[in-house]
Structure 1
Amino acid sequence: MTTNERPKIGLLVVDLDDTLWTWFDAWYESFSSMMMELQKATGLSREELLPAIKSMHEQKGTAEYSWLLDELPILEPFRAGRTAREVFDSVLHAQNSARKYNTVLYPGVMSTLRYLKANNVTVVAYTESLSFWTEWRMRTTGLDGLIDVLYSSPDHDFPEGETKETVRTLPNEEYGLKRTIHRGVARGIAKPNPQILKEIVAAHAVAGRSVI
C-alpha cells in the first residue's frame, strides 16, 4: 500500500500480547529477575519457590498477580506482618525494571497505527490480560490514543483492607488511559469469544467499509 492510497477498511480489531508488543519476553525476563533477587533476599531455592508461585498463579487465574510477594505463604516468615514493598523492595525493583525494559512494540506497529489513525480507521484492541497491566503497557509503548477502544478483562480483587487509592504510589495522573476508551468484559471470558467480537463489530464498524 502506498502512502497516497486510502485504506478501504473502517475497523481493525487486534490482539495485544505478542501481537503488537512482546508480552512473553517481558513476563519471562521480569519473572526471572524477580526470582533471582528473591532467592538472594530469602535464601530459598528455586525448587522451593516455584511450586508455591505456581499454586498462587493458578489460584488467582493470572501470572501477573500484583500481590504475589505479599500473599505467598512461604514468604510470611520474612514479611512478619510487613508489606512486600517494605521487605522486598530490591526484588520488586528488579522485576519492574526488567518488565519496562523488555516491553516493546514489534517493528512496524507504531508506524502502521499512525497511518491507520491518519486515515480514520478505527482500531479496537481485545485482550484477556488484566486491566491494570494492559493500561500500563499501553502507556509504556505509547499506544494510548492510537488505539481507539480497548476491551480487557477486569483486574483481580484487591487484598483485604486495600483499595485503589491505598495501593497507588504515584500521582493519579500516572494511571489509566487519557485518550483510549477502556471497556471491560466479564471476568473469566477467554478468547476466542465470538460473542464479544460480534459486539465489538456491532459497536464500532464503519458503514460502507470493511472489518478486519
Structure 2
Amino acid sequence: MSENERPKVDALILDMDNTLYDWVAFFVPALYAMAEVVGKLLHVPTELVLRELREVHRTYGNTEHPFALLETRLVQSAFPRATRQEAHDALQPAFRAFNKERATRLRLYPEVASTLATVRAAGCRVFGHTEATVVNIEYRLQKLKIADFFDKVFASKWNGLSHPQGRDSKGSGQRVLVLPTVARKPDPEALRVLLNEIHAVPSRTLYVGDSLSRDVQMANQAGVLAAWAKYGSSNQKELWEKLVHVSHWAGESVAAVDSERSGHVPLKLKYRSITRFGQLLEEYVFTAHNGEPNATT
C-alpha cells in the first residue's frame, strides 16, 4: 500500500493488556504460583485458595486485584487478630512467588518498542486507555521501560484497601491518570470523553486493541480509525481456562469472549487486522499533531 493510500494518524490510542504484552501469559502463572504456596503454608488445597480469590475478584469486579489474598476468608480466618501488614508479612513466600513469575514472564510483544519509537519520532502523540488500575499499569510501564513513549495513560481508579505496607495506591497523577467515570468500554462515550480530553480529531485518531467487541466496536461508534490486534486473542487454551476459573466474569461474559476468540463476532465492524504490532507502520502514516481543536461534538 502506497503512503498516499494509507490513513494519516496524529493521535494513537492503545489498549494495553494483550495489545502491548500478553497479560494472560504472565498474570495466570503468577496467580497460580501464589495460590500453590499459600496452600502449602496454610495446609489447604490449592483449589480452595483459588475459589476464595475468585470470590474477592467478583466482589470488586476485577480479576487483577492486588493483595486480594489478604481479603479472602481463608487468610482472615488463619490470622484473625493480625493487621494487614502482619498477614502480608506472614505470607511473604506466596507474594514472592507471584512477583517472581510476573517478573519472569512480563515482556513486550515483538516490535512494540521499536514501533512506538518510530511513531513518536514522527511527532505522533501516543496515549494508553485501559481498565486495569493505575497501580498495576504504573508497574508495567516501568518494568517494560515504555513510559516515555506515552503522553498520557488513562487507567481505572484503585478502589481497594490500602497497601499493606502503607504505600500509595493512587498512582502518580502525572503520566498515569484516572479514567473519567462517565462510561466504560465498550460504551463509545468513554472514548468520546477521552478524545475531548486529549484534543484529538476522530478522523486522524487510531485506536488499537485486542477485542473486537470492546475496542474495535467502541472505536467505530466513536468515529475513530480502528485496528484489531489479532495476535492478542491467541492465548494458550490452558492458560485461558485457568484465567476463567478465577475471574470475576459472569457466564455470559465468558461465552461472549470465547465466541470472539473463535472468530465469531455478530457485528459488522470497520477495522484493519494486524498480526504483529509493527504492521501498524505498514497500514498507517503517523504524523505530527497540528494543534487543531478536536471535532468530537
Residue 38 of structure 2 corresponds to: 38
Alpha-carbon contact 2:126-2:152 (below 8 Å) kept: yes
Contact 1:30 1:96 in 2 (8 A): yes
User: 2-side partners of 1:137 and 1:188: how far apart?
Assistant: 25
How far off its partner does 1:187 sit?
Answer: 5.0
Gaps of 5+ in 1: none
Deviations 1:56-95 (A, max 9, x none): 1100211222232222111224324233322101000001
Identify the residue that residue 58 of structure 2 maps to in structure 1: 58
CA contact (8 A) 1:205 1:211 kept: no
After TM superposition, give the deviation of residue 26 of structure 1 in Å: 1.1
Whether the 8 Å contact between 1:10 and 1:205 is mirrored in structure 2 is: no
Question: Offset of 1:205 from its aligned partner?
Answer: 4.8
What is the Cα-based RMSD across aligned positions, in Å? 2.8
Contact 1:135 1:176 in 2 (8 A): yes
Matched, 1:204 2:198: yes
For the residues of structure 2 that align with 1:43 and 1:167, how far apart are their CA atoms? 29
Task: Quickly say closer, same or farther: Cα 1:189–1:54, change in 2 above 3 A.
Answer: farther
Change (3 A) 1:38 1:126: same
Aligned residues: 198
Listed one character per residue, the Cα deviations across residues 173-209 of structure 1 (whole Å, up to 9, x for unaligned) are xx9569x6222124594312311212222343567x8
Instruction: Return the offset for 1:156.
Output: 1.8
> In the alignment, does 2:16 pair up with 1:29?
no
1:120 match: 123
Matched, 1:138 2:132: no
Within 2, Cα distance between the matches of 1:211 and 1:76?
48
TM-score, structure 1 as length reference: 0.82
Structure 2 alignment gaps of length 5 or more: 207-297
Query: If the length of structure 2 is used for normalisation, what is the TM-score?
Result: 0.60
Residue of structure 1 in register with 2:166 after alignment: 167
Superposed, 1:43-192 pairs within 5 Å as 43-82=43-82, 83-158=86-161, 162=162, 167-168=166-167, 176=171, 181-186=175-180, 189-192=183-186
Name the amino acid aligned to 1:106.
Y
Q: Distance in 2 between matches of 1:206 and 1:51?
A: 44
Assess, with a 3 A threshold, how the Cα gap between structure 1 residues 206 and 188 changes in structure 2: closer, same or farther.
closer
Q: Is the 8 A contact 1:79 1:87 kept in 2?
A: no
Aligned counterpart, 2:20: 20
